[in-house]
Amino acid sequence: MKIIKRNGTEVSFVSQKITDAVRKANNEVSEGNRLSEEQIALITKRVEGLCKDLNRAVNVEEVQDFVENQIMDQKAFAVARKYITYRYTRELVRKSNTTDAQILTLIECNNEEVKQENSNKNPTVNSVQRDYMAGEVSKDLTRRILLPRDIVEAHDQGIIHFHDADYFAQHMHNCALVNLEDMLQNGTVISGTYIEKPHSFSTACNIATQIIAQVASNQYGGQSISLTHLAPFVEISRKKIRAEVAQELADVGVMEDTIARIAEKRLRDEIRRGIQTIQYQVVTLLTTNGQAPFVTVFMYLGEARDERERADLAMIIEEALKQRIQGVKNESGVWVTPAFPKLIYVLEEDNVRKGSKYYYLTELAAKCTAKRMVPDYISEKKMLEYKIDKNGEGHCYTCMGCRSFLTPYVDEHGKPKYYGRFNQGVVTINLPDVALSSGGDMDEFWKIFDERLELCHRALMERHNRLKGTLSDAAPILWQYGALARLKKGEKIDKLLYGGYSTISLGFAGLYECVKYMTGKSHTDEAAKPFALKVMQYMNDKCKAWKKEHNIDFSLYGTPLESTTYKFAKALQNRFGIIPGVTDKNYITNSYHVHVTEKIDAFTKLRFESEFQQLSPGGAISYVEVPNMQDNIPAVLSVMEYIYENIMYAELNTKSDYCQECGYDGEIQIVEEDGKLLWECPYCHNRDQSKMNVARRTCGYIGTQFWNQGRTQEIKDRVLHL
């Protein structure tokens, strides 16, 4: 059994330390008030049993809470007082300077919580450590100075989660849709150097990767670009290559169609090199936060302006899918699944059915999903139904990163606008905590819900107000040179924070557990579903009220919990104990999702969750868990067609692993030892994470650097839907 110390390091559980601590408090009281040695031994045994029952690594605070309770159970109140006083005194000493110790554990790579905080960050790398060190300072400033005490306390207790506190000290926002079209067509500036409009497709791809890296270093969330913005440069390269070929063959006297054929072949080669540039630069670049840029590539034929551009875009999409199917080579030279860029493919009438013009792309996408877990799929049909602007027109567009969607927006000229917009930040409400705090009383539930939502409202306004007054000079690539705006030097970004240009997100998590506690049933049960929908609508109504009050686009967001799922679960266990079906896991369910252990088929799951996606306009994604589908592409295509007809945004979760020790190319297993979950090769039993490549869908994106114990248990518990 393991215990996590306050500085985040993980050590073996030693029961003798409990005995010693109780004896120390025991010796400080009069003999008549002391515990016997038998009682001390019993306390130690019971505390050890309680820790084992948690079935996870326990932290020091939890152990001390158990000790206090057991001393009280023995009616040794004087001893309990001494023990509590000692804890309080030690806490005061620790609070005098906690940041130094935390940073030192980061540098020495023995902070287990941080090591598993982000499944795409390698904490042994200097650049990641530097980012984490800066984050510790930011969190310290945020907690002590920048945020109100009640918001900090609610965050610490797991009542809410104030996301990305490690970046809050700076004037930074969350995620964005990069206006790559503006930057490529009108030129931009990168690190003080003017970059003019590219004269070829390959140059456009190279510039795009530089823009991606710069944007990632000036915000903390995901970003999305569209391949449509690269499509015009295909025709530029075509004309350029054709002129070169014609000149080369001028003396030979070949026919025009021969020149065209040779030029088109060379053009294909250039497209291949350009897409390869994006693929390899994205996965090999390290941004200032120590990881590859969290970038999504959007593939939507419907964005093309004419048939020529549409055909060129199709060539780009085809090449992007082929290269992702191939993957990238790991250090052993084996082709593996990269985490980024994330790919999104839009299903539309021209590609979704057999016989449609671009169905060959959809078949390629299905093969890619079966082997590499991406692309994910947006249904143009459903999105046009859901995303209606004030003019009554529907729109189809990409999310910002893994699931955060902008709200429909029409500019001052009456035109829809999505690229160049962004999200200000997220605060998430722990729905199971609302339910458990109510004790199951419905009237009390809605009362507490109101209080917690108001707490989130105030926390979100802290985020908004932190961005107010930010000068465009803080991130020129974003605010001055086209990624998000073309503001003047010294101009404030404030006008972009109002009127719906940007959004700010009320996140939610654990709808399943909330409904389970309040109704005794899963929200998939027809008797419990109305309550689940009512909870969702209630949060939407709050967002509308806040929007009216502040002229800011508050939007409800299905939070992609990664490390926070473990934090919320531990907080619930600490506050309410183990409640079967509600707090008996080391994770809580993401957003509105069906619980990972619930047996439900893929089509029923997607149909059920589609109703909740409509009520989560600020961000939502659904998934189905499937086995290896590489030999069953028709089944993948069936799911894709069902997505098109029934749900806006969904993905298929497959597995893509490799053991570097023995060459096993299959699913790496999760095993349990001494209360801890470990990854193990089923063939050679290798458990060294540095010698295996594991890729799993984490929260809408692929993680490759492993996960904390809560998320690992959630991955282990997932049942297949197909």
562 is catalytic: yes
Domain assignment present for 200: yes
Q: Which residues contact 615 (CB under 8 A, 6 or more apart)?
A: 533, 536, 537, 540, 556, 592
| DSSP structural state of residue 388 | B
User: What is d(CA 502, CA 423) in angstroms, rounded to the nearest whole number?
Assistant: 5
Domain assignment present for 125: yes
The pLDDT value recorded for residue 252 is 81
**Of 26, 55, 59, 174, catalytic:** 174
Residues 243 and 303 in one domain: yes
Token representation of residue 339: 């985490």
69 is catalytic: no
Mean pLDDT of 296-309: 97
3-state SS of 25-47 is HHCCCCHHHCCCHHHHHHHHHHH
Domain assignment present for 19: yes
Q: Which residues contact 223 (CB under 8 A, 6 or more apart)?
A: 175, 176, 177, 178, 212, 215, 216, 293, 294, 295, 296, 400, 401
Q: Of the candidates 346, 202, 334, which has an alpha carbon nearest to the alpha carbon of residue 281?
A: 202
**Of 51, 175, 373, 514, catalytic:** 175
CB 523 within 8 A of CB 583: no
For residues 221-248, one letter each, b for 16 or more C-beta atoms within 10 angstroms of the residue's C-beta and e for the rest, the string is bbbbbbbbbbbbbbebbbebbbeebeee
The pLDDT value recorded for residue 518 is 98
Domain assignment present for 262: yes
CB 151 within 8 A of CB 458: yes
Residues 140 and 187 in one domain: no
The pLDDT value recorded for residue 107 is 57
> In the listed set 61, 96, 131, which residue is the last one of a domain according to the structure?
96
| DSSP structural state of residue 8 | S
pLDDT-derived band at 6, boundaries 50, 70, 90: low
User: What is d(CA 722, CA 705) in angstroms, rounded to the nearest whole number?
Assistant: 27
Evaluate if residue 367 carries a pLDDT over 60: yes
pLDDT digits (tens, 9 = 90+) for 555-582: 999 998 878 888 999 999 989 999 999 9
571 or 697, which is more confident: 571
The pLDDT value recorded for residue 651 is 95
The pLDDT value recorded for residue 100 is 63
Residues 330 and 190 in one domain: yes
Domain assignment present for 339: yes
Token representation of residue 594: 């069906």
| DSSP structural state of residue 416 | B
Q: Which residues contact 176 (CB under 8 A, 6 or more apart)?
A: 215, 219, 221, 223, 224, 400, 421, 422, 423, 478, 483, 484
Evaluate if residue 704 carries a pLDDT over 80: no
29 or 598, which is more confident: 598
Phi/psi at 334 (5° precision): -100, 140
The H-assigned helical ranges of 148-193 are 149-156, 180-186
Domain assignment present for 163: no
Token representation of residue 336: 């593996």
Residues 137 and 275 in one domain: no
The pLDDT value recorded for residue 545 is 98
29-33, 283-287, 485-489: range with lowest mean pLDDT: 283-287
Mean pLDDT of 480-485: 98
Evaluate if residue 671 carries a pLDDT over 90: yes
Report which secondary-structure segment, H or E, holds 275. helix 256-284
Evaluate if residue 194 carries a pLDDT over 70: yes
Mean pLDDT of 347-351: 98
Q: Of the candidates 276, 299, 310, which has an alpha carbon nearest to the alpha carbon of residue 205?
A: 276
- 145 exposure class (CB count in 10 Å sphere: 0-12, 13-18, 19+): exposed
CB 60 within 8 A of CB 4: yes
Report the share of the chain in percent with pLDDT over 90. 70
pLDDT digits (tens, 9 = 90+) for 231-268: 999 999 999 999 999 999 988 878 889 999 999 999 99
The pLDDT value recorded for residue 510 is 97
423 is catalytic: yes
Domain residues for the domain of 342 are 176-363
How many distinct helices (H) and strands (E) make up the chain?
Answer: 24, 23
**Residue 373, CB half-sphere, CA atoms under 13 Å: how many?**
25
**Of 345, 409, 517, 557, catalytic:** 557
Domain assignment present for 206: yes
557 is catalytic: yes
520 is catalytic: no
**Of 122, 224, 404, 591, catalytic:** 404
pLDDT-derived band at 486, boundaries 50, 70, 90: very high
Report the share of the chain in percent with pLDDT over 70. 92
349 is catalytic: no
Evaluate if residue 112 carries a pLDDT over 80: no
Residue type for position 499: G
Evaluate if residue 513 carries a pLDDT over 60: yes
Q: Dihedral angle at the C-alpha atoms of 590, 594, 600, 606, nearest 10 degrees?
A: -90
The pLDDT value recorded for residue 101 is 63
Evaluate if residue 398 carries a pLDDT over 80: yes
3-class SS of residue 713: helix
**Of 51, 396, 399, 402, catalytic:** 402
Cα separations in angstroms, 195 against 181, 183, 230: 14, 9, 16
pLDDT-derived band at 665, boundaries 50, 70, 90: confident
Residues 264 and 344 in one domain: yes
CB 369 within 8 A of CB 375: yes
CB 169 within 8 A of CB 145: no
Residues 182 and 291 in one domain: yes
Strand-strand pairing, 335-336 and 342-347: unpaired
503-509 β-sheet, strand order: 160-162, 423-430, 503-509, 553-558
The pLDDT value recorded for residue 54 is 80
* DSSP string across 300-315: -GGG-SSHHHHHHHHH
CB 342 within 8 A of CB 701: yes
Evaluate if residue 645 carries a pLDDT over 60: yes
Place of tokens 């999760």: 670
For residues 341-376, one letter each, b for 16 or more C-beta atoms within 10 angstroms of the residue's C-beta and e for the rest, the string is bbbbbbbbebbbeeeeebeebbbbbbbbbbbbbbbb
**Of 55, 218, 423, 522, catalytic:** 423
The pLDDT value recorded for residue 244 is 94
Q: What share of the chain is helix, strand, coil (3-state, %, to 5)?
A: 50, 15, 35
The pLDDT value recorded for residue 1 is 77
Mean pLDDT of 366-371: 95
pLDDT-derived band at 113, boundaries 50, 70, 90: low
**Of 205, 299, 368, 400, catalytic:** 400
99 or 380, which is more confident: 380
Q: Which residues pair with 672 in a beta bridge?
A: 677
The pLDDT value recorded for residue 705 is 61
The pLDDT value recorded for residue 103 is 61
Domain assignment present for 256: yes
The pLDDT value recorded for residue 656 is 74
Considering Cα of 218, then 223, then 228, then 233, what sign does the dihedral take? positive
User: What is d(CA 701, CA 344) in angstroms, rounded to the nearest whole number?
Assistant: 11
Report which secondary-structure segment, H or E, holds 247. helix 232-248
User: What is d(CA 652, CA 670) in angstroms, rounded to the nearest whole number?
Assistant: 20
Considering Cα of 583, then 585, then 588, then 589, what sign does the dihedral take? negative
Residues 63 and 190 in one domain: no
Residues 241 and 351 in one domain: yes
**Of 700, 703, 710, 714, catalytic:** 700
Token representation of residue 176: 């964005």
Token representation of residue 461: 């306004």
700 is catalytic: yes
Residues 122 and 55 in one domain: no
The pLDDT value recorded for residue 260 is 93
The pLDDT value recorded for residue 179 is 98
pLDDT digits (tens, 9 = 90+) for 407-462: 999 999 999 999 999 999 999 999 999 999 999 999 999 999 999 999 999 999 99
634 or 53, which is more confident: 634
Evaluate if residue 376 carries a pLDDT over 90: yes
Residues 92 and 117 in one domain: no
Does the bond joining 375 to the residue before it have cis omega, within 30 degrees of 0? yes
> In the listed set 330, 363, 396, which residue is the last one of a domain according to the structure?
363
CB 190 within 8 A of CB 276: no
State pTM to two decimals. 0.85
Residues 61 and 139 in one domain: no
Cα separations in angstroms, 680 against 2, 668, 669: 19, 6, 5
Residues 131 and 276 in one domain: no
User: What is d(CA 181, CA 231) in angstroms, rounded to the nearest whole number?
Assistant: 10
Residue type for position 572: L
The pLDDT value recorded for residue 711 is 76
As for how many domains the chain has, the answer is 3
The residue ranges of DSSP E strands in 308-455, in sequence order, are 328-329, 335-336, 342-347, 376-379, 423-430
> In the listed set 35, 65, 96, which residue is the last one of a domain according to the structure?
96
100 or 615, which is more confident: 615
The H-assigned helical ranges of 327-438 are 359-372, 380-386, 431-438
CB 250 within 8 A of CB 331: no
51-60, 547-556, 600-609, 705-714: range with lowest mean pLDDT: 705-714
User: What is d(CA 482, CA 229) in angstroms, rounded to the nearest whole number?
Assistant: 14
pLDDT digits (tens, 9 = 90+) for 114-131: 555 554 556 666 667 777
Does the bond joining 341 to the residue before it have cis omega, within 30 degrees of 0? yes
**Of 10, 62, 348, 562, catalytic:** 562
Computed over every residue of the chain, the mean pLDDT equals 90
Output the CA angle 137-142-146, nearest 5 degrees.
140
pLDDT digits (tens, 9 = 90+) for 258-299: 999 999 999 999 999 999 999 988 888 766 566 678 899 999
CB 557 within 8 A of CB 616: yes
